Structure 1
Amino acid sequence: MIRILVVDDQQLVRMGLRMLFEQAPDIEIQGEADNGAEAVRLAERLTPDVVLMDLRMPGMDGITATRRILAARPATRVVALTTFDDDDHLYPVLAAGACGFLVKDTPPAELLAAVRRAAGGEAPFSPDILNRLVAQALHARSSSDSPTDLPVPAITPREREVLGLLGVGLSNKEIADRLHLGVTTVKTHVASLMAKTGRDNRIRLAVLAVLTGITPD
């Protein structure tokens, strides 16, 4: 059973998420919070597997709450819930340790799948959010006088294939099926890519893939 904590300052959003997750036999809502401070308290008491975290909330925002939850319980998986105009919060919450990003109008089936992927150690994200992260990275590069470190030549041909598929948002299972590999082997390649490139999660790897033009064959 996947235990989740829903954090959003809008009651209607929380109600909609509860109705959705109550229909899933493998997901249990342990609690709800309408602000970051309450999210931190509930996460400590309930120890959820996954936290769905709104970013814009009165008082303590979702970024600070994410950082504090993960400082106390690093194994917790925090998935940020964003809106179409929330670009300013994307990189800060990624730096705070969020493992994934979803827009609030994500279709129900995709949201359920994303929670399962997050609980399984992956990094679910909406494709348009990846595009926005890439746009921010490109802007940062163009505004900087220092060279950008992209150690892609150090990776193997197979790792390059995996990186390209990460860049279009495929899960470990989807990558394994595409490349005719075992899921464990894919996980090993992803871990190796993180170590070689200095990117500490799948979203940063996906951004790297897009920035360097590495795409699936």
Structure 2
Amino acid sequence: MRLMMSWCSCLVVVFLLQASHGTSGSAYNITASEPLFPNQTLVSSGQIFELGFFTPNGSENQYVGIWYKNLAPPKIVWVANRELPLVYPDQSAKLMIGSDGNLKLVNGKQNIFWSTNASRRSNYRSAALLDSGNFVLQDANYSKIWGSFDDPTDTLLPGMKMGVNARTGEKLYLISWRSDSDPSPGRFSTGITSETPPQPFTWNGSTPYWRGG
């Protein structure tokens, strides 16, 4: 699903944020002392994927998502806060690692719009975007605590597995955007059935739409 980001509006945000949050640009990880602001992006080491704040064309909402860095127009492959958008432009929003070690997206009033809610404890955590497109929260030994591959939106990337979330036990589904300007969950969803052998299945709401195999 393709969409055009509102580049003119984004340039305004960058200009305003440079004064309050320092130099804009790319980062390679997020730590407790180094959050990600709307004038910054997180880039995978091989320059394949990029994570940052975006606003779909025709929308007044702001999201954090992942897209292919070198594709134009950008192809969004994952959205963090698809069900609870920020109001654009929120100059003080940030993606941070909170005191409990979880990734959190907060606005200027520190209201939480999205969180990883990972229960595992560790003294040091950082977040990085891998060349696979997986956005991971990891401990000091670089062991994964949480990954965006375990919380997909509408795109299946190479290396991503459908079925059941190993951490939560929940079934994993790809769920369409509501529209090109609205990444909130739409009508169509795709997943793997629990029958033997498992088969890919697509639903239109609760109505079966397509079955593979």
TM above 0.5, one fold? no
Give the TM-score normalised by structure 1: 0.31
